[in-house]
């Protein structure tokens, strides 16, 4: 059984999530908490497989609770947010930076178009997150500065005209580290595919820009990319590039279950014949592997995040 702790300051939301998760025969909701301090106590005593975490709570908010859990009793954490507007969602991304695995929109119990699919996807994601091995994370105090530069990999230096980056679970925090470490004179445009719950990509672009000092924007079909800027695949569109360095967005069918898909991005880089670097970061599943093979066969350079980080 997957043991879930539901954390939310709203009794209605706790009941909604408990009912939804408990309907799955592989899930047991072992407890609930109404604020961050109660959450810490329940994590220590119940040892859940996964925590669904609200952000705005009294006593101790979800960001601080996530930070303390990951420092003391590392546990997979899923942030659940009812808000997808840019200002509110950006706060939720801070919890991902603190060690939470992913951000999901709180599902509805309605019977509108797509509601049942959204509920099924929510439960499926919570179950999947319970299987991820998380590690202890000691965090600097908030406001103590951006992450320090990452170690430079020992790889061949060569002219790179364009960079493609793909990430899934755990990606936002990894992206902050990578983008923060780029030198100011970095001359290649960067194309980014990040698997993310619907409604949050615009907020992700804004949060990454603020957190890293690098310009991150949703990609626009046909736009000519500029050096040092990051172009994020929008919702439900594959991201690619033409040989002239212009953005190509596509509504072709999902690859696997993904649109945007990392495989599409890397394959597009391979076909463009531009000197390209393909980067694959933290995540789950196989998306990106076949595209990277195609890019490598076309002469591109590949970088993969190491498991330890």
**DSSP helix/strand/coil, 154:** coil
Is 287 annotated in the active site? Answer: yes
Catalytic-role residue among 168, 180, 203, 206? 168
Catalytic-role residue among 195, 206, 211, 263? 195
Q: Tokens 């690098």 sit at which residue?
A: 214
**Tokens read off for 245:** 């360095």
* Pairing of β 50-53 and β 162-167: unpaired
Catalytic-role residue among 8, 54, 61, 287? 287
Cis preceding linkage at 260, omega within 30: yes
Contact 230, 167 (CB under 8 A): no
Contact 78, 106 (CB under 8 A): no
Residue 195 to residue 176: CA distance in whole angstroms: 15
Residues in Cβ contact with 280 at an 8 Å cutoff, skipping those fewer than 6 apart: 165, 166, 167, 262, 288, 292, 302, 303, 304, 305
Is 195 annotated in the active site? Answer: yes
Residues classed as catalytic: 168, 195, 287
């Amino acid at each position: 059984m997957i043991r879930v702790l539901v954390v939310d300051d709203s009794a209605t939301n706790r009941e909604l999530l408990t009912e939804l998760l408990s309907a799955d025969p592989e899930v047991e909701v072992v407890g609930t908490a109404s604020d961050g301090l109660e959450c810490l106590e329940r994590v220590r005593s119940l040892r859940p497989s996964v925590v669904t975490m609200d952000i705005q709570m009294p006593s101790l908010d979800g960001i601080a609770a996530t930070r303390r859990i990951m420092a003391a009793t590392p546990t997979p954490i899923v942030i659940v947010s009812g808000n997808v507007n840019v200002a509110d969602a950006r706060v939720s991304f801070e919890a991902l930076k603190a060690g939470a695995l992913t951000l999901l929109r709180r599902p509805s119990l309605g019977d509108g178009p797509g509601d049942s699919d959204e509920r099924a996807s929510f439960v499926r994601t919570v179950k999947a997150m319970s299987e991820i091995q998380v590690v202890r994370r000691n965090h600097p105090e908030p406001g103590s500065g951006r992450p320090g530069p990452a170690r430079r990999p020992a790889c061949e230096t060569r002219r790179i005209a364009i960079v493609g980056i793909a990430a899934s679970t755990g990606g936002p925090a990894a992206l902050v580290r990578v983008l923060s470490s780029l030198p100011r004179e970095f001359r290649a445009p960067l194309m980014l595919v990040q698997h993310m719950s619907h409604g949050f990509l615009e907020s992700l672009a804004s949060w990454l820009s603020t957190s890293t000092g690098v310009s991150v924007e949703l990609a626009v079909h046909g736009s000519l990319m500029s050096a040092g800027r990051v172009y994020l695949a929008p919702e439900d569109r594959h991201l690619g590039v033409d040989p002239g360095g212009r953005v190509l967005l596509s509504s072709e069918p999902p690859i696997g279950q993904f649109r945007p898909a990392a495989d599409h991005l890397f394959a597009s880089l391979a076909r463009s014949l531009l000197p390209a670097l393909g980067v694959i970061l933290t995540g789950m599943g196989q998306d990106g592997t076949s595209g990277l093979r195609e890019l490598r066969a076309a002469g591109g350079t590949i970088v993969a995040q190491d498991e330890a980080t």
